[in-house]
Amino acid sequence: MSVRDKWTGEVFAELKRATEPLIERTMAGAVGALREPWVPLARAAALRGAITLLRERRDDVTGIMRRETGFTTADVNDEFERAMVTLQLCAEESTRLGGDVVPLGASAGFEQRVAFTVRVPIGVVLAITPFNAPLNTVCHKIGPALAAGNSVVLKPAQLTPLTAQLLVDTLHAAGVPEHYLQIVHGSGGELGLRLLRDPRISFATFTGSTEVGLIVKRETGILPVQLELGSTSTTIVCEDADLDLVVADVRRSGFRKAGQVCTSVQNLLVQRQVAEQLRERLTASVGSLHSGDPGEASTDVGPVITEQAAERANMLVSEAVSAGAQVAVGARRDRNLLSPTLMIDIDPSMRIVSEEIFAPVVNLISFDSLSEAFGIANSSRYGLQAGFYTASIARALEAARSLEVGGVIINGTSSTRADGMPYGGVKDSGFGREGPAAAISEMTIPRLVILTP
């Protein structure tokens, strides 16, 4: 399996695809590992040890990540630091696993009995991860699973497998038992399906497109799953918003990782009273972003993952222009490099609004009333996160009640995320929650115990 530098196109590494005998050994090893329980103190020590080792190997990790993703230096450094936080949180949570006392007083004959729950590992966790966060999202999948005492089989994205491989090797070096964490490489259509259909899998966690998420759910049936899927994330700007803050936040959150983030600001809804002012300021700000070689420190926006992804995004832009939209700045393409783009005169019915673009493109859409803005946002089949800028507490609370999403960020964009918070969506954006504490809760079983004197 060849891995290409996303800027030069050069093949710079190769990995062996998983064969059926290897898959069978992997699954047998994952099941066998659970027969030798891994105690919480050892889990915490291994996760903390991995942080130390990763910091020692930082240049190797970030260098590999930059080449296989095409992310800028700033983006890979941000991903690295976030991953360290995620692992630290997992280490802390591994020693906090506890249950609840269950009241029995409502049932006659139970007066002298005591009931409580203990949390036990769910079993073998299958983690299928995306290309756009090959370190931190992998940590969000395997970190909680290991912290909870599960064994893990990891299948990273075929386009960006090297960072995940280096992470797994580092975790093993830090003390994670070999069969408690195993990695296999291959395509989603073949290897992913083979693993999803394996009856020894106890829990599946997947981040990727909604279309593939539907396949994951179909294949897993009654099996518990956590799905973090697509979005066309909306951020709403009211007329009383701090526009300086909005411009700075959108410049970052709309274009980091070349817009290849589920929560990237795709649709920016702006109240008409300030729409022209914000358009002028955003045009200047977005126009000053430098796109190009991600290896150069001056580059703000690198390439998207493939030339096909750039072609698709460019097609949506061209289609919108044909329907009456305008390009305020950007929309230049060279191979898989798409310049940072701000679209204006956008009609909410356009496909560039309703389909996830996953590229450095922000649509500016004017609205008159909040009910109109909420209607546009809620008409999406997705519901991951939404941003909302206002100086009014009343408006902020109205947004929190009205927006059909998994998270509402007041005075921040849709792409705001602290790694310890519960994170996930509704509707076609999936279900279940990431964030170490929330994920560990889903990856453990609350076993009821009743003591009778």
Structure tokens at 435: 């964030």
Please tell me the pTM assigned to this model: 0.97
CB-based burial, 118-144: b 16+ in 10 Å, e otherwise: ebbbbbbbbbbbbbbbbbbbbbbbbbb
94-128: per-residue pLDDT in tens? 999 999 999 999 999 999 999 999 999 999 999 99
DSSP 97-147: ----EE--TTSTT-TT-EEEEEEEE-SEEEEE--TT-TTHHHHHHHHHHHH
* Residue 158 confidence (pLDDT): 97
Q: What is the pLDDT along the chain (453 residues), one digit of tens a residue?
A: 999 999 999 999 999 999 999 999 999 999 999 999 999 999 999 999 999 999 999 999 999 999 999 999 999 999 999 999 999 999 999 999 999 999 999 999 999 999 999 999 999 999 999 999 999 999 999 999 999 999 999 999 999 999 999 999 999 999 999 999 999 999 999 999 999 999 999 999 999 999 999 999 999 999 999 999 999 999 999 999 999 999 999 999 999 999 999 999 999 999 999 999 999 999 999 999 999 999 999 999 999 999 999 999 999 999 999 999 999 999 999 999 999 999 999 999 999 999 999 999 999 999 999 999 999 999 999 999 999 999 999 999 999 999 999 999 999 999 999 999 999 999 999 999 999 999 999 999 999 999 999
Please tell me which residue in 90, 139, 238, 262 is annotated as part of the active site.
262
Check if the beta carbon of residue 206 is closer than 8 Å to that of residue 218. no
Give pLDDT, residue 47. 98
Q: Which of 249, 244, 242, 247 is nearest to 264 (CA)?
A: 249
pLDDT of the residue at 20: 98
pLDDT confidence of residue 400? 98
- Residues whose CB falls within 8 Å of the CB of residue 99, separated by 6 or more in sequence, listed in order: 116, 117, 118, 119, 446, 447
Rounded CA separation 326/317 (Å): 9
Q: Name the architecture of domain 2-229+429-451.
A: 3-Layer(aba) Sandwich (3.40)
Q: What is the DSSP string of 394-415?
A: HHHHHHHHH--SSEEEETS-TT
With contact defined as beta carbons under 8 Å apart, do 4 and 10 qualify? yes
Catalytic (active site) residue 90: no
Contact 329, 342 (CB under 8 A): yes
Residue (of 155, 162, 7, 159) closest to 71 by Cα position: 7
Q: Which of 301, 363, 364 is nearest to 338 (CA)?
A: 301
Catalytic residue among 79, 228, 356, 434: 228
Q: Is 350 exposed, middle or buried (0-12, 13-18, 19+ CB in 10 A)?
A: buried
Res 150: pLDDT = 98
Instruction: Provide CATH code, domain 234-418.
Output: 3.40.309.10
- pLDDT of 107 reads 96
Contact 397, 418 (CB under 8 A): no
**Exposure class string for 46-56: b at 16+ Cβ within 10 A, else e:** bbbbbbeebee
Supply the pLDDT for residue 237. Answer: 98
- Which structure tokens are listed for 67? 């080449």
Instruction: Note the residue count of the chain.
Output: 453
Which among 113, 140, 111 is positioned nearest to 205, based on CA atoms?
Answer: 140
- β-pairing, 426-427 vs 382-383, is antiparallel
Dist. CA 439–CA 432, nearest whole Å:
8
Domain locations along the chain: 2-229+429-451, 234-418
Residue 292's identity, in one-letter code, is G
C-alpha 136: how far from its chain's center?
8
Gyration radius (Cα) of the chain, Å: 23
In Å, what is the CA distance from 60 to each residue of 2, 57, 64, 104? Answer: 19, 5, 6, 56
Please indicate whether residue 228 is annotated as part of the active site. Answer: yes
Q: What is the pLDDT of residue 155?
A: 98
